[in-house]
Amino acid sequence: MKFFADTANIEEIKELAETGLLDGVTTNPSLIAKTGQDFIKTIENICSLVEGPVSAEVTALDHKMMIVEGEKLSKIAPNVCIKVPLTWDGLKACKALSSSGININVTLCFSATQALLAAKAGASFISPFVGRLDDISGNGMGLIEDIVNIFNNYPDTLSTEVLVASIRSPLHVLESAKLGADVVTVPPNVLKMLASHPLTDKGLSSFLADWEKTGQKII
């Protein structure tokens, strides 16, 4: 499974990149607005820190302007992945941009049939939002299971990767991995939570206490 960071914060991305665990980054207008920084410059900076895909989202609503914005954003760096919404115009833009060799992340997916359409339109990634479905008493992980199963039925014709978005907890990551999703895009705080366990902390404290008793030092 690939780990993407769901953030536009440069310092957070730098720290995560140092671990070697980061395979890409997803951004959106809301995340970039929180930084208070220039949109284009922020994407450029992120692309310089991460070798994998960096999702940059268009803001237009009609497909012709989505294509224009997507083409402009794709020139920022070779690893830019254009993010378009799962609307009828978004699907048109996805088809046009992907046909010209640009990687596309179709976002705001809330049904398996939407995911199937995006895959048919040439999306590199489809982003189902599990947390937002759970918020309205939907079944976010059930959606992931449906999409993975459908895509697995057509391995010779559908190459779109399932990118689980709107991750709220480590459990979402665990369930996504068990279901065979290709990617999870995770807020930095949740990604760090994956490494935490009270028994790890307890065991480390015990080891250090015993080591202290020896009076020895490695350096």
Q: What residues have CB less than 8 Å from 169, skipping those under 6 apart?
A: 190, 193
Which CA distances in Å does 15 have to 10, 34, 49, 175, 186? 9, 19, 10, 26, 14
- Terminal CA-CA length for the chain: 38
**Which is nearest to 70 in space by CA: 109, 102, 38, 28?**
102
- 14 in active site: no
- Measured CA to CA, the distance from residue 97 to residue 67 in angstroms comes to 7
Catalytic member of 83, 95, 213, 217? 83
The residues assigned a catalytic role are 83
